[in-house]
């Protein structure tokens, strides 16, 4: 009797165990079976790269602030006729740009450097300082917005108030922040017809002339 009960109990246990194993295998198969949507989600996750925003150290911001201060020190030296400090703060790359208070746009260091040499020769005198300065640094590029406030001398040697908006761009080159762009409002007391300012704007006019300008002919009614 005990043997019979033991046999029945054993058979019942084995049946329950077999059923549990079968259920476990079926559940595992359902979990591992990939659907097209699952495949697409997997591919999307693999191809998407999460890029954390770059953090800017206080040291880099301070370095840009110092470079900006060096630029305005160079600008004030330029007003006295000394162009050398301005040549040092600028990058000498081909992609630099300058849109100053005289007007026009100069691109590449050859044009930009020439424009600063001409302005140094004007010896505008006076002094300007940056106020309400805002600095943004990201990686190897930085932008500085401010107001340039101070005074210069007009063509007659009379002091003229200066208060213009300014945007400067800096790039870190060989561990140093160099200016690659400077853009300001125009100054109304500049004589745009003077020899000096005409020389500064001449490069812009040359660049604006199409290469095939000599081949362009006026359109006539017969050409229409």
pLDDT tens for 155-198 read 888 999 999 999 999 999 999 999 999 999 999 887 654 555 55
Cα distance between residue 107 and residue 99, in whole Å: 9
Q: Give the chain's mean pLDDT.
A: 77
Q: For residue range 147-161, list pLDDT tens digits in order.
A: 999 999 988 889 999
Structure tokens belonging to residue 164 = 């213009």
User: What CATH number should be reported for the domain holding residue 156?
Assistant: 3.10.450.50
- The CA distance from 60 to 66, in Å, is 10
Q: What is the pLDDT of residues 92-142, one digit of tens each?
A: 999 999 999 999 999 999 999 999 999 999 999 999 999 999 999 999 999
In a domain, 46, yes or no: no
User: What three-state secondary structure class fits 213?
Assistant: helix
Whether 11 is in a domain gets the answer: no
Instruction: Centre a 10 Å sphere on the Cβ of residue 176 and count the other Cβ atoms it contains.
Output: 13
Lookup result for tokens 């600095």: 135
Would residue 154 count as lying in a domain? yes
Domain presence at residue 92 = yes
Banded model confidence at residue 223, pLDDT cuts 50, 70, 90: very low
Beta carbons within 10 angstroms of residue 91's beta carbon: 20
Decide which of 82 and 51 is more confident.
Answer: 82
Residue 14 belongs to a domain: no
| Domain presence at residue 147 | yes
pTM above 0.75, yes or no: no
Phi, psi at residue 151, to the nearest 5°?
-155, 155
Q: Which helix (H) or strand (E) holds 166?
A: strand 159-173
Residue 203 placed within a domain: yes
Tokens of 31: 């979990």
Domain count, the chain: 1
Which residue range forms the structural domain that includes residue 130? 58-208
- How far is it, in rounded angstroms, from Cα 63 to Cα 40? 46
- pLDDT for residue 116: 98
């Amino acid at each position: 009797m005990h043997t019979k009960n033991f046999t029945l109990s054993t058979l019942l246990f084995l049946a329950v165990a077999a059923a549990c194993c079968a259920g476990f295998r079926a559940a595992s198969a359902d979990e591992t079976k990939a659907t097209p949507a699952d495949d697409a989600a997997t591919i999307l996750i693999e191809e998407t790269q999460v890029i954390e925003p770059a953090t800017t150290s206080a040291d880099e911001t301070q370095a840009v602030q110092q470079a900006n201060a060096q630029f305005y020190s160079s600008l004030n030296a330029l007003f006295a006729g000394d162009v050398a400090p301005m040549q040092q703060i600028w990058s000498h790359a081909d992609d630099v740009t300058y849109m100053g208070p005289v007007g026009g746009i100069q691109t590449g260091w050859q044009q930009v450097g020439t424009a600063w040499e001409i302005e140094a020769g004007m010896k505008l005198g006076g002094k300007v300082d940056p106020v309400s300065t805002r600095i943004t640094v990201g990686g190897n590029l930085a932008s500085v917005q401010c107001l340039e406030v101070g005074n210069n001398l007009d063509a007659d040697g009379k002091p003229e108030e200066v208060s213009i908006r300014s945007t400067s761009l800096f790039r870190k080159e060989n561990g140093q922040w160099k200016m690659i762009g400077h853009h300001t409002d125009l100054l109304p007391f500049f004589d745009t017809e003077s020899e000096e300012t005409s020389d500064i704007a001449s490069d812009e006019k040359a660049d604006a002339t199409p290469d095939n300008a000599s081949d362009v002919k006026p359109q006539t009614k017969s050409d229409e």
